[in-house]
Chain A
Amino acid sequence: MSVYDKVFPPKIFTLSNGKQIRKPRSRAPLAAAVLLALTVLSVKVTGFDMGILVSRIREFFVILGEMIPPAWDYMPQIWQPLFDTIKMSLLGSFIGSVLVVPFAMLASTNIIHNRIVVALMRLLLSIIRTLPTLVSALIATYVFGLGTLAGTTAIAIFTFAYIGKILYEEIETVDMGPFEAMEAMGATKARAFISSIVPQVLPSYLSNCLFCFEGNVRYASILGYVGAGGLGLILNEKIGWREYASVGMILLALFVTVFLIEAISRAARKRLV
């Protein structure tokens, strides 16, 4: 019985046969109170003001209005950064998702029985996952110089952490029968892993990689802001010069690209799972 039930005792119903049934009180009021308190605090801290929002919301559409119609003649200069963005996310997703496989294996409790190794691996993956992509991109630009290599590294790091977590959760839910049988016959852990676990997790792993790639294309457009190559670079430049029609064209190109990639990858994922 939790503290909440002690403060608000459960309602007791007596059925016709004399049996008593306890119905715990709804948790909804508690959740609502917490939500309300957090909302009030947030409104105070952030200075949220509905009045300003309503009276000045027209300003929001000023830039949007200038983006339409997009500057069609700017398109030829977009191709190169656009392809750079796609290449960055493709290579980054690939490197990250391949590199993480041994780490994910070390982080699953059903393969490695040493608790310390598992805990260390999970901590490593969590810390990498919480590291903002923008920060890793910025660090990468200091190491590799401005350009697509820095962006590729940042995307690889992000993919590494994201796929890692999903993969070890996936590995922990597989059927361990084949793995144990192979180990009993004298196969090494790596060999047994490849032959018995890989076929079970491969479809969902590939599907997750494709999903991550989709997201990375979208994300890669931000990385240019810190100098890591791709669309963000020209986006930042055009925003700086207030050429919003060109910005609109860049966004339109990004939209169509993301739409196409999503359609292709969704079709591929349907075949996989």
Chain B
Amino acid sequence: MSKRVEVAYEQRPRRWVFELAVALVVIALLLWSGSAVETAGTTQNGALIAWNILAGIFHPDTGLLFNLTTQGVPYLLLETICIAFLGTVVGAIISIPLAFLSASNLTPKPVAFIGRMLIMAVRTVPAFVYGLMFIRVTGPGAFAGLLTMSLCSVGMVSKMYIEAIEDLDVRVLESLDAAGCTTWQKIRYGILPQLMPNFASTAIYRFDINLRDATVLGLVGAGGIGAPLIFAMNSYRWEEAGSILAGLIVLVLIVEWISTKIRVKLARG
């Protein structure tokens, strides 16, 4: 027994050349990236500033936190949720045709490739560039934010939709065909039941992300909670920033908890 163990141990796969090469490459890359770190900007009282910020954030401005007018945190959070929600819905709807066009098992290879490139290009452009473009269309405000969110969602959502479509079980369709179903019946009973849970789960997941990323919209004045937050931080009103952040964090945690529950339910059927 121990002989066999020793022999097996001697014959264990040895890939140390490969591993050494990978380690060297990683170390070289890290050294290279270390050259970007400049400590010149660090001021002596950096720790003090950080302490002040944290102190402000942990003493949130309760007047703002429980203010029920349109300036208060609850309304801003509601606006943010609405932007994220409608943005996700619009994005998910745009993604459906795009995903079917780019799924390599449905469309010819060149079309699918162009579709994928388009999706990647949409994903690459940063959110605030879209924000600026949409502000030209709608003027500043929540409407522009919503359109930005929807376009930002398209990239990831359609990528995951494509994966779901490519995993379709075609044998179901064949058996429906053999049973004499029409095209509509095939879609209703063969394709929709396979795709719907997956699509819904992706959309809910993206809603989570959109809610968290909604602060980016504030940079360009596209509505939501981002703008007051950035203004408060830029003018060192840390208590105000703290109350907005507290509201946002609690909201995101609650939404995440609910959406995880729904997604687990969807996955288990």
List residues of A whose CB falls within 8 A of some B CB.
35, 38-39, 41-43, 45-49, 52-53, 56-57, 59-60, 62-64, 83-84, 86-88, 90-91, 94, 126-127, 130-132, 134-135, 138-139, 142-150, 152, 218, 221-222, 225-226, 229, 232, 235, 239, 247, 251, 254-255, 258-259, 262
A47 touches B143 (CB 8 A): yes
A235 touches B126 (CB 8 A): yes
- List of B residues within 8 angstroms of A149 by Cβ: 37-39, 41-42
- List of B residues within 8 angstroms of A49 by Cβ: 138, 143
B124 touches A143 (CB 8 A): no
List residues of B whose CB falls within 8 A of some A CB.
29-30, 32-43, 46-47, 49-50, 53, 78-79, 81-83, 85-86, 89, 120-121, 123-129, 132-134, 136-138, 141-143, 145-147, 212-213, 215-216, 219, 223, 226, 229-230, 233-234, 241, 245, 248-249, 252-253, 256
A135 touches B215 (CB 8 A): yes
Some 22 contacts from A to B, beta carbons below 8 A apart, are A39-B86, A39-B89, A43-B86, A46-B82, A46-B83, A46-B145, A48-B143, A49-B138, A56-B138, A88-B33, A126-B256, A127-B253, A134-B216, A135-B229, A135-B245, A138-B234, A142-B50, A143-B50, A222-B126, A222-B216, A235-B129, A239-B129
User: How far apart sit A64 and B125, CA to CA, in the bound complex (Å)?
Assistant: 11
A48 touches B134 (CB 8 A): no
Q: For B134, give the chain A residue with the smallest CB separation.
A: A60
Given the known interface contacts A148-B38, A239-B132, the answer about A130 and B137 at a Cβ–Cβ threshold of 8 Å is no
State the Cβ distance, A129 to closest chain B Cβ, in Å: 8
A222 touches B146 (CB 8 A): no
Cβ-defined partner of A255 (8 Å) among B32, B86, B124, B143: B124
Cβ-defined partner of B233 (8 Å) among A38, A57, A135, A255: A135
Given the known interface contacts A41-B82, A46-B143, the answer about A258 and B138 at a Cβ–Cβ threshold of 8 Å is no
B35 touches A87 (CB 8 A): yes
Q: For A41, give the chain B residue with the smallest CB separation.
A: B82
Top 9 nearest A-B pairs (CB, nearest first) are A145-B41, A87-B36, A87-B33, A42-B82, A46-B142, A42-B86, A45-B82, A132-B215, A90-B33
Q: For B48, give the chain A residue with the smallest CB separation.
A: A143
B245 touches A131 (CB 8 A): yes
B136 touches A60 (CB 8 A): yes
Given the known interface contacts A46-B146, A142-B53, A222-B126, the answer about A91 and B253 at a Cβ–Cβ threshold of 8 Å is no
State the Cβ distance, B68 to closest chain A Cβ, in Å: 15
Given the known interface contacts A45-B79, A48-B86, A239-B132, the answer about A127 and B249 at a Cβ–Cβ threshold of 8 Å is yes
Cβ-defined partner of B138 (8 Å) among A41, A52, A143, A226: A52
B42 touches A45 (CB 8 A): no
User: How far apart sit A94 and B26, CA to CA, in the bound complex (Å)?
Assistant: 10
Cβ-defined partner of B133 (8 Å) among A42, A60, A142: A60
Q: For B79, give the chain A residue with the smallest CB separation.
A: A45
User: How far apart sit A239 and B39, CA to CA, in the bound complex (Å)?
Assistant: 28
B50 touches A247 (CB 8 A): no
User: How far apart sit A143 and B221, CA to CA, in the bound complex (Å)?
Assistant: 26
User: How far apart sit A221 and B147, CA to CA, in the bound complex (Å)?
Assistant: 20
State the Cβ distance, A181 to closest chain B Cβ, in Å: 15
State the Cβ distance, B232 to closest chain A Cβ, in Å: 10
A218 touches B136 (CB 8 A): no
Given the known interface contacts A48-B143, A90-B29, A132-B213, the answer about A144 and B53 at a Cβ–Cβ threshold of 8 Å is no
- List of A residues within 8 angstroms of B145 by Cβ: 46
